[in-house]
Structure 1
Amino acid sequence: MPSLANELGYHHIMAEGHAHARRDIALLYVSRFLRLFAFGAVAPILVLHLRKLGFSDQLVGSFLSLTLLGDVLLSLVVTWSADAIGRRRVLAAGALLMAGSGIAFYLSSSFVALLAAAVLGIVSPAAMRVRSSSFSALPFSQADAHAPTVGPFSAIEVGMLSQLVSPDARVYVLMWYQVLGFVGTSVGALTSGFIISQLEKAGWHVVAAYRVIFLVYSLAAGIKVIASVVMSTHAELDAPAKPTATPPAEETSTDNERQPLLANQGQQAPSVADAILSSPEEPAPLPRLPLGKLIALCFIFSLDAFASSLIPNSFIAYYFRLSFNAPLSAITRTFSAGSLIAGFSQLAAGSIARRLGIILTMVGTHIPAQLITIALAFAPSLASGLTLYIARASIASMDTSVRGAFLAAIIPAESRTRFLGIINVCKTLASAPGPTLSGHLASWGGLRWSFVICGSLKILYDLGLLAGFLKAKLEH
């Protein structure tokens, strides 16, 4: 029986045996935590802050949609230039932009200035929302309200992590990468609620208190600059090739549950490592998705991304405030608890996917979460609404790390950063109209219908994934 350490990937990761790999992985984890801490601090107050500045519901929705469109251009520039310029340099530059954006939000009340700062500093629904956008081509996922996602820079980090470790360790390294993101989001939300409540007790105006949170955002970004700069050259694309790590003895036994990634006629089915977690640099050929299936994936994941964009955490906070007059402290505590629960649920993702397979893991956890999303629209009280939010958090994003490993295996290493960036751009384009629609629904007194539309579309996404790929043998 596999030990708990194996189920959580400890032996896989430590089997790498490269000090530089472990050091760079640790720095990337720090970077992930800091970025999600910053986004977690800002997410509960972003829409509330814009409304306090006097922007209408429609204008706030347009603001968020425009930042998503701006993210498209930024993502293209960043992901297509990162390997040429240097991944570490690009991550450091992105952190500097984050810091500048936070300062702009602290100093300015101008719609145009804040919009420019939000685009450059990734203060957008792509950073605040639900499914790991850069993590999954199958989605932010980062997209239920709990899978943190963060613009184009996660695509770079995922590419670096995938390169630093052997295929067998990849799914576990990415799993912990996701977990650290959830923890960062949780700590950020708690910190935000605590600071604002203390400042309001001290007599600060609510807008001034909100602005302090944007300074915290800048401070976290400044530390992230340092973490990016001190990484080694092994994280770059042209780093020396790394030998494949030998899996632990417990994992080398024959496992009848392991199935091929894609059926190849006339060829023997590859093992788990060869299928889901194989690397293009290895001698074994990597199975490719047919063009038709690739187009189908782009369509259904764009549908998922659009649904996610209807209810970023910023709008969920606004919904609780509008519908139940919820205090900010209750909202931030609930968001924090939701992120922690979602993070802990990630720890079971690798084990569940190995037993049920990728598709059944994705669909089996996602459909119940979307039924809860729809139920949120009809919550009769604040207590029931917050309870439903927590219940949704517990299952909505369990598949994120598994899908990240899947993408890392399909895309060749030399193209990984660019391809992940293109995938994110498609999802971001699909997401752009969502906040505008929710903003109009809010102005008409119908923000709750955003939850109904979101949950319904996501169930269609799940059914499409099940119908199109269940028989493709994407078993882990």
Structure 2
Amino acid sequence: MNLTLLRRVLWTRGLRAFADGYVSLMLPLYLISLGMGPFQVGVIATATLLGSGICTLLVGLYAWRFQYRSLLLMAALLMAATGLGFAAITNFWPLLIVAAVGTLNPSSGDVSVFLPLEHALISQSVNDNERTAVFARYSLVGALLAALGALFAAVPDYLVISHEVDRKVVMQLMFILYGIIGLVCGFIYRSVPHRVELEGRAQPAPLRKSKRIVYILAALFSLDAFGGGFVVQSLVALWLFQKFELSTVVAGTIFFWTGVLSAFSYLVAARISNRIGLVNTMVFTHLPANILLVLVPFMPTLEWAIALLLVRSALSQMDVPTRSSYVMAVVNPEERAAAASVTAVPRSLASAVSPMLAGYLLGVSVFGWPLVIAGGLKIIYDLLLLTTCRRFPPPEDASTRS
């Protein structure tokens, strides 16, 4: 195991997650403060996911020609430019362009161009029996720092109340901080040695031998991603703001605890997968979480809605490290970067349309239809995943059954 490389990847994952954690909550309020409505917020969220998906797809197709470090440095610079762009621009159409070409993430998970590159580096650096545990640690760091970022989203409210500072100015400064974090990530990526590209067990290659299974997984993940786009964190926050008139402080606290529960569920997922296998862990934790998601809008009080969101968060993300590990396990080692990208793209492309639809639904009703639709689509995905992926068991699942 290359511990030095893993530490660097974990540092950058944590920093980016912290930035995503506060931006995803602050984004809808910032856009509304600029005079935009729920539908325009949804369009901006759609643009961010669509742009990330296209960039990630390009990385998957061509990353094998370049050093991963060079691509990560370019992504970090793009993150810096995105933060500065959102801080400086206040009109809808220019912001839409920045959202489409930038790295802004309206969801609680990582859907950026960084993801396939970091996954490939991790897979190069660990043995098969260590892979799921390392991905769980990677996801744990991201979720914990994203939870802290959600708390940090309350800074504008605090400064407005205690120091009577202009809220929009504070939000713009937080976007500048997002850009600075991108530069820090770039500095860390600079220390990734060139020789990492040569020490991997296989040289990166385009997708060939593993094409069939990767395309099947991409189709399945696209359904899950389309459903997930209805409940990206920015839009769930917007629903809570509308239905229960929550402050950013209260919403940030809620998403802090959902993030903490999700974070520690990653460690539990690694243990469960050792007992029942990766595929069963993905499905039998995700399915009850999606049933709870369907029930959230029907709750009569804020307390009940929060309770279901918290329980769901303890279950819904266990498939994240196991899914990443599964993809890396069932493809050829030299095709892992391409596979990580092609299976990650649906989490941006397929989910790109649904935030716009969710924004429209929230503009005409505060009931929470996006949550119901998302839960229903994800339940269908779980059942399809169970029947399909059992035909392609990873080595770990074979040893588990024996």
TM superposition score normalised by structure 2: 0.91
2:154 aligned counterpart, secondary structure:
helix
Distance 2:256 2:83 in 1: 21
Superposition pairs of residues 267-346 of structure 1, within 5 angstroms:
291=212, 295-346=215-266
Distance 1:460 1:30 in 2: 36
In the alignment, is the contact (CA less than 8 A) between 1:411 and 1:419 conserved in 2?
yes
Distance 1:36 1:290, change over 3 A: closer
Over residues 80-139 of structure 1, what are the superposed CA-to-partner deviations in whole Å (9 max), with x where a residue is unaligned? 34343321121111111111111111121022222222233311xxx3325xxxxxxxxx
2:153 aligned counterpart, secondary structure:
helix
Q: 84, 93, 102: which one pairs with 2:74?
A: 93
Over residues 389-447 of structure 1, what are the superposed CA-to-partner deviations in whole Å (9 max), with x where a residue is unaligned? 21111111112112211111222333222232222234432212101111110111145
TM superposition score normalised by structure 1: 0.77
2:90 aligned counterpart, secondary structure:
coil
For the pair 1:128 / 2:72, whether they are aligned, the reply is no
Instruction: Report the CA distance between 1:209 and its aligned residue.
Output: 2.5
Distance 2:17 2:240 in 1: 22
Superposition pairs of residues 350-361 of structure 1, within 5 angstroms:
350-361=270-281
For the pair 1:188 / 2:149, whether they are aligned, the reply is yes
What's the counterpart of residue 64 of structure 1? 45
What's the counterpart of residue 459 of structure 1? 379
Distance 1:361 1:49 in 2: 38
Distance 1:379 1:162, change over 3 A: same
What's the counterpart of residue 416 of structure 1? 336
What's the counterpart of residue 75 of structure 1? 56
What's the counterpart of residue 269 of structure 1? none
Task: Name the Cα RMSD after superposition.
Answer: 2.1
Question: Which consecutive unaligned segments of at least 5 residues does structure 2 have?
Answer: 204-208
Q: 285, 305, 328: which one pairs with 1:365?
A: 285
Question: Which is greater in Rg?
Answer: 1
What's the counterpart of residue 143 of structure 1? none
Distance 2:152 2:234 in 1: 16
Over residues 319-344 of structure 1, what are the superposed CA-to-partner deviations in whole Å (9 max), with x where a residue is unaligned? 11000001110111111111111111
In the alignment, is the contact (CA less than 8 A) between 2:79 and 2:102 conserved in 1?
yes
Distance 1:80 1:470 in 2: 27
In the alignment, is the contact (CA less than 8 A) between 1:438 and 1:447 conserved in 2?
no
1:168 aligned counterpart, secondary structure:
helix
Q: 126, 131, 135: which one pairs with 1:174?
A: 135
Distance 1:464 1:233 in 2: 41
Distance 2:161 2:82 in 1: 24
2:159 aligned counterpart, secondary structure:
helix
In the alignment, is the contact (CA less than 8 A) between 1:189 and 1:333 conserved in 2?
yes
What's the counterpart of residue 245 of structure 1? none
What's the counterpart of residue 206 of structure 2? none
Distance 1:231 1:434 in 2: 37
What's the counterpart of residue 402 of structure 1? 322
Deviates more, 1:315-324 or 1:334-343: 334-343
In the alignment, is the contact (CA less than 8 A) between 2:120 and 2:336 conserved in 1?
yes
2:318 aligned counterpart, secondary structure:
coil
Task: Give the AA of the match of 2:235.
Answer: F
Q: How many residues align?
A: 391
In the alignment, is the contact (CA less than 8 A) between 1:128 and 1:150 conserved in 2?
no
Q: 196, 199, 216: which one pairs with 1:240?
A: 199
In the alignment, is the contact (CA less than 8 A) between 1:36 and 1:184 conserved in 2?
yes
What's the counterpart of residue 151 of structure 1? 112
In the alignment, is the contact (CA less than 8 A) between 2:49 and 2:351 conserved in 1?
yes
Distance 2:112 2:199 in 1: 28
In the alignment, is the contact (CA less than 8 A) between 1:180 and 1:343 conserved in 2?
yes
Task: Give the AA of the match of 1:172.
Answer: A
What's the counterpart of residue 382 of structure 1? 302
Distance 1:199 1:87, change over 3 A: farther
Distance 1:241 1:418 in 2: 15
Distance 1:455 1:464 in 2: 14
What's the counterpart of residue 435 of structure 1? 355
What's the counterpart of residue 209 of structure 1? 170
Task: Give the AA of the match of 2:3.
Answer: R
For the pair 1:220 / 2:214, whether they are aligned, the reply is no
Task: Give the AA of the match of 2:136.
Answer: M
Deviates more, 1:448-457 or 1:196-205: 196-205
In the alignment, is the contact (CA less than 8 A) between 2:296 and 2:371 conserved in 1?
yes
What's the counterpart of residue 246 of structure 1? none
Distance 2:349 2:8 in 1: 31
Distance 2:45 2:156 in 1: 25
Distance 1:290 1:51 in 2: 43
In the alignment, is the contact (CA less than 8 A) between 1:376 and 1:451 conserved in 2?
yes
Deviates more, 1:159-168 or 1:295-304: 295-304
Identity value in percent: 28
Superposition pairs of residues 46-57 of structure 1, within 5 angstroms:
46-57=27-38
Distance 1:206 1:379, change over 3 A: farther
Distance 2:170 2:161 in 1: 7
Distance 1:80 1:447, change over 3 A: farther
Distance 1:241 1:57 in 2: 47
What's the counterpart of residue 27 of structure 1? 8
